[in-house]
Amino acid sequence: MFKKIPINNVLMLITLIMILTMPLSVAMAGDSKACKTDIKAVIKAYEKALNASDVDDVIKNYSDDGVFMPSGKPTAVGRKNVVTAYQRVFKVLDLDVAFHIDEIIRRGDLAFVRTTSDGRIKILDKKITITNSSRELFVMKRIDGNWKIYRYMFNETNKT
């Protein structure tokens, strides 16, 4: 006959089977090196979207509850307001900037990314181009296994 197995043992066995059969990508989701690689890819995608003045691609990099805090401008909270803020930016500026990652510190599903950026900004109504250097702080949040911009702020370090 069958021997009765305590329910705790059955639950432990089921949990062990689930862990051992979990896809590698899920198991690697917490790996620090893999997370940093994924975060760098988001920053690069954001840079590309900024330089293309593409609001749709910019917003793909933000969480639904993301916050954009531009230097000298009002804070935009939530997807709708972040979209509006970038629409305003791209109406007046054409950006050609590059981000340089100084550090990434990850704690669970949050990461802090300190960057600098430099490049050229064309002020559309004045038809002039300026060089620009900024420093930025991104707070990234992992949502359903994907890193998104959760909070973002920057300030210019010089204007010429």
DSSP 27-94: HGGG-HHHHHHHHHHHHHHHHHHHHTT-HHHHHHTEEEEEEEE-TTS--EESHHHHHHHHHHHHHHEE
Backbone angles phi, psi at 109, to 5 degrees: -95, 15
**Residue whose structure tokens are 């305003």:** 88
In tens, the pLDDT along 49-93 reads 999 999 999 999 999 999 999 999 999 999 999 999 999 999 999
Statement: residue 158 has pLDDT above 50: yes
The residues that bridge with 97 in the sheet, in sequence order, are: 119
Single-letter code of the amino acid located at 89: V
- Evaluate if pTM is beyond 0.85: no
pLDDT in tens, 88-124: 999 999 999 999 999 999 999 999 999 999 999 999 9
Band (129; pLDDT cuts 50, 70, 90): very high
SS3 state at 97:
strand
Q: Residues 11-46: pLDDT tens digits?
A: 666 665 655 554 433 433 457 889 999 999 999 999
Per-residue burial over 58-95, b = 16 or more CB atoms within 10 Å of its CB, e = otherwise: bbebbbeebbbbbeeeeebeeeeebbebbeebbeebeb
- What pLDDT sits at residue 16? 54
Sketch out the chain's domains with CATH numbers.
27-159 (3.10.450.50)
Strand (E) or helix (H) holding 159: strand 146-159
